[in-house]
Amino acid sequence: MRVLIVHAHHEPTSFNSAMTREAVTALTDAEHEVVVSDLHAMQFDPVSDRRNFTTVADSAVLKQQAEESHASANKGYVAELQAEMDKVAWCDVMIFQFPIWWLGLPAILKGWVDRVFAVGRAYGGGRWFDGGVFAGKRAMCSVTVGGPQPVYSDIGVYAPINDVLFPIHRGIFAFCGFTVIEPFVVYGPSRISTEARTDELWRYRERILTLDRAPMLPMLNSADYDGLVKKRVN
Ligand SMILES: Cc1cc2nc3c(=O)[nH]c(=O)nc-3n(C[C@H](O)[C@H](O)[C@H](O)COP(=O)(O)O)c2cc1C
Is 231 a residue whose pLDDT tops 80?
A: yes
Q: Ligand 1 within 6 A of 101 CB?
A: yes
Q: Would you say how long the chain is, in residues?
A: 234
CB environment 126-161: b (16+ within 10 A), e (fewer) = ebbbeebbbeebbbbbbbbbeeeeebbeeeeeeeeb
- Which DSSP helix (H) or strand (E) runs through 230? strand 229-230
The single-letter DSSP state of residue 169 is I
CA-CA distance, 232 to 188, in Å (whole number)? 43
CATH number at residue 66: 3.40.50.360
Q: Ligand 1 within 6 A of 227 CB?
A: no
- Output the pLDDT for position 232: 85
In terms of Cα–Cα distance, which of 27, 171, 175 is closest to 19?
Answer: 27
CA-CA distance, 121 to 133, in Å (whole number)? 7
Q: Ligand 1 within 6 A of 20 CB?
A: no
Q: Ligand 1 within 6 A of 144 CB?
A: yes
pLDDT per position as a tens digit, 145-196: 999 999 999 999 999 999 999 999 999 999 999 999 999 999 999 999 999 9
Estimate the share of the chain in helix, then strand, then coil, as percent rounded to the nearest 5: 40, 20, 40
Q: Which residue puts its alpha carbon closest to atom 8 of ligand 1? A: 102
- Tell me the CA–centroid distance for residue 114 and ligand 1, in Å: 21
Q: Ligand 1 within 6 A of 104 CB?
A: no
Please tell me the pTM assigned to this model: 0.97
CA distances from 166 to 45, 129, 228 (A): 25, 14, 17
CA distances from 35 to 12, 15, 113, 145, 212 (A): 17, 19, 17, 24, 17
CA-CA distance, 59 to 230, in Å (whole number)? 39
Q: Which of 56-60, 116-120, 216-220 has the lowest mean pLDDT?
A: 216-220
**172: helix, strand or coil:** helix
- Tell me the CA–centroid distance for residue 232 and ligand 1, in Å: 41
Is 234 a residue whose pLDDT tops 70?
A: no
Looking from the CA of 163 toward its CB, the CA atoms found within 13 Å total 9
- Tell me the CA–centroid distance for residue 137 and ligand 1, in Å: 28
Which structural domain, as residue segments, surrounds residue 217? 2-230
Q: Ligand 1 within 6 A of 194 CB?
A: no
| 134 phi and psi angles, rounded to 5 deg | -100, 25
**The total number of structural domains that make up the chain:** 1
CA-CA distance, 14 to 144, in Å (whole number)? 10
Strands 179-180 and 229-230: unpaired
- Tell me the CA–centroid distance for residue 189 and ligand 1, in Å: 10
Q: Ligand 1 within 6 A of 99 CB?
A: yes
Beta bridge partners of 53: 77
Confidence grade of residue 11 (pLDDT, cut at 50, 70, 90): very high
